[in-house]
């Protein structure tokens, strides 16, 4: 792994254009890199290829070490990738085999550092497949970072992407062992640092103090926007919405108006929407007390509603049910869910650390509609006497299977039936 290279007079260095946009060289230069590039040095006799993968330690000339310190005292040592900023966050793991870019740009990861359990990450680089305008995790943890991304749509490397967005990360650790610890002991906080002189006794209390808070306000849109369509008018409340929610509705002809999370119910209802969509999002649903109060007003209306993930949890809280935190959550694109009405099992994409407590449901208000096959936790609700259904998983996927995309069609049918009744 080379971080610097002396170019002698007569050599002509070239940068592969897919991997970087702007790098300047002189004819006789000592080049150093803080992020990965692939450099071809053309000489009369041969062409040499060099891979620049990570940060160089100024003192030792070697690749910079990074440390992941868990609140239970476990320490993993690896290589620094991305920013060298020190960060304390909640450490969670994702079991997806593909879709690392969609994971990075999912707002539901705000306030968390993500461990990717699939061993090789970054093989197709950064493509246009982003679910929001920027990445949201506090940190990124991988077993191995791809040395050379290869895809005709590749625009950048993960390393450069992390650097540009000031996200620290660590590579080269045993992510299988780390995931096992989190499964056995539960989700815990951790610190990513490049400080080799850290004092465990000093940092552990700071790590344990961390809590995820204020993240919905952080990720929601700042102002209302509209995706034009000639079909039903849908109001989408953005609690940290992935792009494919609005896209899935828009592709079905809907005109989608995206509202900030704390928009008043009166404003939404005044626009006379045909349907209301509640999005996914990060954090503890019980923290969103003001939003819950507005959802009570939306529930009291006759407007058809469809909710995903955090939206599902918030609607449950608004109607008197309770939620609790799972031991280590569900994050990945391979989670089986069972439709309790038909008995059919679907493979779903999921990203949540909290779940609706079925024992607190009022059977006159809502009934379980889906169940997680693995741990029997609630995955969806159907509301009694209302045109409202909610799911814990992600029918919009991105990344993940499209098994449950039909739920958007179900929502369309609900709005159509409501329209016919009027």
pTM of the model: 0.86
Question: How confident is residue 62, by pLDDT bands cut at 50, 70 and 90?
Answer: low
Burial call 15-46: b when 16+ CB within 10 Å, e when fewer:
beebbbeeeeeeeeeebebbbbbbbebeeeee
Residue 363 has pLDDT above 90, yes or no: yes
What average pLDDT score do residues 59-77 get?
Answer: 88
Percentage of residues in the chain having pLDDT higher than 90: 83
**Secondary structure (3-state) at 32:** strand
Q: How many CA atoms lie within 13 A of 393 on its CB side?
A: 32
What average pLDDT score do residues 369-377 get?
Answer: 97
CB 245 within 8 A of CB 236: yes
Q: Is 254 a catalytic residue?
A: no
pLDDT at 53: 52
Across the chain, what does the average pLDDT equal? 89
Q: Is 184 a catalytic residue?
A: no
pLDDT at 288: 98
Among 131, 309, 312, 330, the active-site one is 309
Question: How confident is residue 58, by pLDDT bands cut at 50, 70 and 90?
Answer: low
Q: Strand runs (DSSP E) across 210-321, as ranges?
A: 225-227, 233-238, 255-260, 275-278, 305-308
What average pLDDT score do residues 380-389 get?
Answer: 97
Query: Residues, the chain, total?
Result: 422
Identify the weakest region by mean pLDDT among 3-17, 133-147, 325-339, 390-404. Answer: 3-17
Could you give the domains of the chain? 4-52 (no CATH), 65-212 (3.50.30.20), 216-421 (3.40.50.880)
Q: Which residue has the tokens 């814990």?
A: 392
Torsion angles phi and psi, residue 361, rounded to 5: -75, 140
Residue 5 has pLDDT above 90, yes or no: no
Q: Which residue has the higher pLDDT, 268 or 23?
A: 268
pLDDT at 38: 43
Burial grade of 413 (CB within 10 A; 0-12, 13-18, 19 or more): exposed
Question: How confident is residue 45, by pLDDT bands cut at 50, 70 and 90?
Answer: very low
What average pLDDT score do residues 136-140 get?
Answer: 98
Between CA 418 and CA 422 the distance in angstroms is 7
Q: Which residue has the tokens 């928009």?
A: 263
**Secondary structure (3-state) at 117:** coil
Among 410, 412, 394, 415, smallest CA distance to 241 is for: 394
How do residues 218-233 score in pLDDT, each as one tens digit?
Answer: 999 999 999 999 999 9
63 forms beta bridges with 56
Q: Strand runs (DSSP E) across 65-205, as ranges?
A: 65-70, 75-82, 87-94, 112-116, 120-121, 139-142, 144-145, 168-171, 188-193
pLDDT at 309: 98
Among 90, 312, 394, 398, the active-site one is 394
Residue 1 has pLDDT above 50, yes or no: no
pLDDT at 56: 59
322-339, strands of its sheet edge to edge = 225-227, 255-260, 233-238, 275-278, 305-308, 388-391, 378-383, 366-372, 322-339, 345-357
Among 71, 255, 371, 396, the active-site one is 396
Between CA 291 and CA 281 the distance in angstroms is 12
Question: How confident is residue 34, by pLDDT bands cut at 50, 70 and 90?
Answer: very low
Among 244, 232, 240, smallest CA distance to 278 is for: 240
How do residues 273-308 score in pLDDT, each as one tens digit?
Answer: 999 999 999 999 999 999 999 999 999 999 999 999
35: tokens are: 């992020």
Identify the weakest region by mean pLDDT among 7-21, 152-166, 210-224, 276-290. Answer: 7-21
């Amino acid at each position: 792994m080379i971080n610097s290279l002396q170019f002698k007079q007569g050599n002509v260095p070239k940068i592969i254009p897919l991997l970087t946009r702007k790098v300047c060289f002189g004819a006789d230069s000592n080049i150093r890199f803080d992020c990965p590039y692939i450099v071809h040095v053309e000489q009369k006799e041969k062409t040499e290829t060099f891979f620049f993968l990570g940060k160089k330690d100024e003192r030792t000339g070697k690749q910079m070490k990074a440390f992941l310190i868990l609140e239970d005292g476990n320490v993993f040592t690896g290589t620094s990738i991305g920013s060298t900023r020190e960060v304390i966050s909640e450490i969670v793991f994702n079991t997806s085999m593909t879709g690392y870019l969609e994971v990075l740009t999912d707002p539901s990861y705000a306030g968390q550092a993500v461990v990717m359990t699939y061993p090789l990450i970054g093989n197709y680089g950064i493509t246009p497949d982003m679910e929001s305008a920027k990445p949201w995790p506090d940190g990124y943890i991988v077993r191995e970072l791809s040395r050379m991304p290869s895809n005709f749509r590749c625009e950048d490397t993960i390393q450069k992407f992390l650097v540009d967005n000031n996200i620290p990360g660590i590579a080269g650790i045993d992510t299988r062992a780390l995931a096992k610890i989190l499964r056995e002991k539960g989700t815990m906080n951790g610190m990513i640092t490049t400080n080799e002189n850290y004092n465990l006794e000093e940092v552990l209390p700071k790590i344990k103090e961390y809590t995820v808070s204020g993240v919905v306000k952080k990720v929601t849109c700042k102002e209302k926007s509209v995706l034009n369509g000639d079909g039903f008018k849908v109001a989408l409340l953005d609690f940290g919405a992935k792009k494919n929610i609005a896209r899935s509705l828009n592709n079905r002809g809907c005109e989608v108006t995206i509202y900030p999370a704390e928009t008043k119910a009166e404003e939404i209802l005044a626009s006379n929407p045909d349907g209301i969509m509640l999005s996914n999002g990060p954090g503890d649903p019980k923290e969103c007390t003001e939003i819950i109060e507005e959802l009570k007003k939306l529930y009291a209306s006759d407007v058809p509603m469809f909710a995903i993930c955090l939206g599902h949890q918030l609607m449950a809280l608004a109607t008197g049910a309770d939620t609790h935190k799972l031991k280590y959550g569900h994050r990945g694109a391979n989670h089986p869910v069972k439709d309790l009405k038909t008995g059919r099992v679907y493979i779903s994409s999921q990203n949540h650390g909290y779940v609706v407590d079925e024992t607190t449901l009022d059977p006159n208000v809502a009934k379980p509609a889906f169940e997680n096959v693995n741990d029997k936790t609630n995955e969806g609700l159907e509301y009694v006497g209302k045109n409202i259904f909610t799911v814990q998983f992600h029918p919009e996927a991105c990344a993940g299977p499209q098994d449950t995309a039909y739920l958007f069609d179900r929502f369309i049918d609900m709005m159509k039936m409501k329209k016919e009744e009027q």
